[in-house]
Chain A
């Protein structure tokens, strides 16, 4: 007996909505396994006081209950953690919207993490070289420079692909390491705050150089950029010829070529858009929650955004929901670290697992699972 995929007559509309939920459910089951195995590994099973194997197993289930609570519920119960959730979701969603367009056109920008770093660097040029400038144009200029930096950095792998046919997956990823090292150099070297007691940070940005907060909370104005970007991307894909070109070139490159659409132009365009949004996310981090340039400005948001893009079905509106869920996993990981003493890597394990299940479940939109009984096994004879 084995399981086979059989192509459906047409794509299943129900599975298109159900598959992310199914993936989430499977991730929760996988998470239970990991927490229980982790608990079993930390307890001395031969010690009768802890109840041996079954005692540890029971403890594992209790731990998983607490884990689910600190991971998914607790961050939603207090105002400060809700603000934190928004702060984490903002850069992730911004980047994911750009990446969705890339992946729809079958272009693979996986270097958003580096474009975030470069956006943070170029956006910080003004406040670092003109610390006394607080005029109303300061912040817009910083944002524009951040966006341009991200775009320029994303243009490198795109142009190399167009000009030389270089694999953009590898080049965009290699440039992540380069950007991070350059940021590290700036924060420790020439851009370090001379009055900062040798800490590897730039001078702290002050009023007029920081994004304003909304409604008296800690939520910053960058949240509105998320909605503007999502709406713009949705409009682009739904109503413009360019959106149509992206879809055609992604799903049927040959048909696109016959229609006269330029693959090269689309590679450059989608890289520029995703780079711009990543650069914006970068400067919004340093001019927002962080408030200065540091050796690292992102705990992997650029990679998390890849998961968000897929979980959100490569749809800008879907990216918003998926982005909040993944932001929750950052807070949940911190919670699990405090409450259960698990490693801070728990977040990444969950994120990786979730992406796996999302991708596998997506197949169910176009295929259905069929259980096939091996005829030879059924009759119990082997014909030769």
Chain B
């Protein structure tokens, strides 16, 4: 295998992993605060369509990305109001968010079906980008760098700052955090908004970089895979990043196998990422001690402060 081919495969793996990384890091922060938001798929779809629409009508991709962030946050705010203020069931509300987001993105995106979009140019870091093979890591698109930066920042925030400690306290025992005087609802709302912003970014990456166009249901279950990645990574940013690369690899494996004409029906190859998700979840869940050590103890529980 030539170095060029290897580079090509590595590049496709990274581009496939980036949206997963965005979405799962955002959801990780949300879940660390004790909120399970199953609406990632819906927020991603909205990010994708708003990102594309803004970039297309202003001709500015950066504005599109900002628009996608706001779209994801708006959807997350809706979820936050329903689950945190109206203490509705988080699982059902998350499903509602997914259905609503997929529908609304289709409604908005109707005008943009078949419109060609402009991809995001890659950024080369001088000096490093000329290195053989690993030089590739220094000529990626800016959003991929952003994803890596967010992952590192989240890791630092959660485990090295006071704010992160409060966030984790709220997620582990909202009653204790409330008794200590922290506003559980406010902390959770911020975490939900951060998750929404990241899902919006993931969507923008899909419609502006990965396949620079808008198609109906283009998220294709990636939001759900991102949710599984958080479990796979046992709520730790570094492991989630590894998981994102692994899943990027699986989805690329499928594309390459199809291109090489492997004698397996294409549908079976397309089912690979979903089957892998199930298998990986089983393997990680078997180790109950590992999962229990990092699962936010109050995950999915509603909180109504006593007044």
| A167-B231, A170-B228 given; A352·B100 CB < 8 A | yes
6 intermolecular pairs with C-beta atoms under 8 Å apart: A165-B286, A167-B281, A344-B106, A348-B100, A352-B101, A355-B92
A185 close to B265 (CB less than 8 A): yes
Instruction: Assess whether A160 is interfacial by the CB under 8 Å rule.
Output: yes
Name the B residues within 8 Å of A110 (CB-CB): 95
A359 close to B281 (CB less than 8 A): no
| A5-B86, A166-B281, A352-B100 given; A343·B265 CB < 8 A | no
| A170-B231, A189-B265, A306-B92 given; A345·B110 CB < 8 A | yes
B103 close to A356 (CB less than 8 A): no
> In the docked arrangement, what's the CA distance between A199 and B6, Å?
39
A164 close to B304 (CB less than 8 A): no
Name the B residues within 8 Å of A38 (CB-CB): 107
Chain A nearest Cβ from B21, distance in angstroms: 18
B268 close to A185 (CB less than 8 A): yes
Name the A residues within 8 Å of B304 (CB-CB): 5, 7, 367
Instruction: Assess whether B43 is interfacial by the CB under 8 Å rule.
Output: no
Q: Which B residues, 279 to 304, have Cβ-Cβ distances below 8 Å to chain A?
A: 281-282, 285-286, 288, 291, 304
* Chain-B contact segment, one of A62-70, A175-183, A273-281, A286-294: A175-183
> In the docked arrangement, what's the CA distance between A96 and B265, Å?
33
Instruction: Assess whether B133 is interfacial by the CB under 8 Å rule.
Output: no
Instruction: Assess whether A363 is interfacial by the CB under 8 Å rule.
Output: yes
Instruction: Assess whether A346 is interfacial by the CB under 8 Å rule.
Output: yes
Instruction: Assess whether A353 is interfacial by the CB under 8 Å rule.
Output: yes
A356 close to B78 (CB less than 8 A): yes
Give chain A's interface residues, CB within 8 Å of chain B: 3-7, 34, 38, 103, 108, 110, 160, 164-167, 169-171, 173-175, 177-178, 181-182, 184-185, 188-189, 303, 306-307, 310, 342-353, 355-356, 359-360, 362-363, 367
Instruction: Assess whether B128 is interfacial by the CB under 8 Å rule.
Output: no
Chain B nearest Cβ from A35, distance in angstroms: 10
Chain B nearest Cβ from A95, distance in angstroms: 14
> In the docked arrangement, what's the CA distance between A167 and B285, Å?
8
| A169-B91, A349-B100 given; A177·B221 CB < 8 A | yes
B231 close to A343 (CB less than 8 A): no
* Chain-A contact segment, one of B118-126, B164-172, B270-278: B270-278
Main secondary structure, interface of A, reads: helix
Name the A residues within 8 Å of B286 (CB-CB): 164-165
B275 close to A164 (CB less than 8 A): no
Q: Which B residues, 69 to 103, have Cβ-Cβ distances below 8 Å to chain A?
A: 78, 81-82, 85-89, 91-93, 95-103
Partner of A345, one of B89, B104, B224: B104
Q: Total A-B pairs in contact (CB under 8 Å)? A: 148
Task: Return the chain A residue nearest B302 by Cβ.
Answer: A363
| A4-B307, A184-B267, A352-B96 given; A170·B277 CB < 8 A | yes
B107 close to A359 (CB less than 8 A): no
A169 close to B38 (CB less than 8 A): yes
User: Which 10 A-B pairs give the minimum distances between C-beta atoms?
Assistant: A352-B100, A348-B103, A345-B106, A359-B88, A352-B99, A355-B96, A349-B103, A185-B267, A343-B110, A181-B267
> In the docked arrangement, what's the CA distance between A10 and B272, Å?
50
Chain B nearest Cβ from A37, distance in angstroms: 10
B268 close to A181 (CB less than 8 A): yes
Chain A nearest Cβ from B100, distance in angstroms: 3
Name the B residues within 8 Å of A184 (CB-CB): 267
Partner of A174, one of B110, B224, B285: B224
| A173-B224, A185-B268 given; A352·B82 CB < 8 A | no
> In the docked arrangement, what's the CA distance between A164 and B284, Å?
9
Task: Return the chain B residue nearest A177 by Cβ.
Answer: B274
Partner of B274, one of A108, A174, A351, A363: A174
B281 close to A353 (CB less than 8 A): no
Chain B nearest Cβ from A3, distance in angstroms: 8
> In the docked arrangement, what's the CA distance between A364 and B97, Å?
20
> In the docked arrangement, what's the CA distance between A350 and B107, Å?
11
Instruction: Assess whether B227 is interfacial by the CB under 8 Å rule.
Output: yes
B282 close to A359 (CB less than 8 A): no
A359 close to B96 (CB less than 8 A): yes
| A362-B88, A363-B86, A363-B87 given; A355·B267 CB < 8 A | no
Name the B residues within 8 Å of A174 (CB-CB): 221, 224, 228, 274-275, 277-278
Chain A nearest Cβ from B264, distance in angstroms: 10
| A185-B265, A367-B87 given; A348·B106 CB < 8 A | yes
Chain B nearest Cβ from A341, distance in angstroms: 9
B87 close to A355 (CB less than 8 A): no
Name the A residues within 8 Å of B268 (CB-CB): 181, 185
B227 close to A170 (CB less than 8 A): yes
Chain B nearest Cβ from A316, distance in angstroms: 18
B85 close to A5 (CB less than 8 A): yes
> In the docked arrangement, what's the CA distance between A171 and B304, Å?
30
> In the docked arrangement, what's the CA distance between A158 and B278, Å?
13
Task: Return the chain B residue nearest A303 by Cβ.
Answer: B99
Name the B residues within 8 Å of A188 (CB-CB): 267
A346 close to B107 (CB less than 8 A): yes
B106 close to A171 (CB less than 8 A): no
Partner of A177, one of B42, B265, B271: B271
Name the A residues within 8 Å of B288 (CB-CB): 165
Name the B residues within 8 Å of A348 (CB-CB): 99-100, 102-103, 106
> In the docked arrangement, what's the CA distance between A344 and B267, Å?
26
> In the docked arrangement, what's the CA distance between A363 and B87, Å?
7
> In the docked arrangement, what's the CA distance between A333 and B291, Å?
44
Chain B nearest Cβ from A309, distance in angstroms: 9
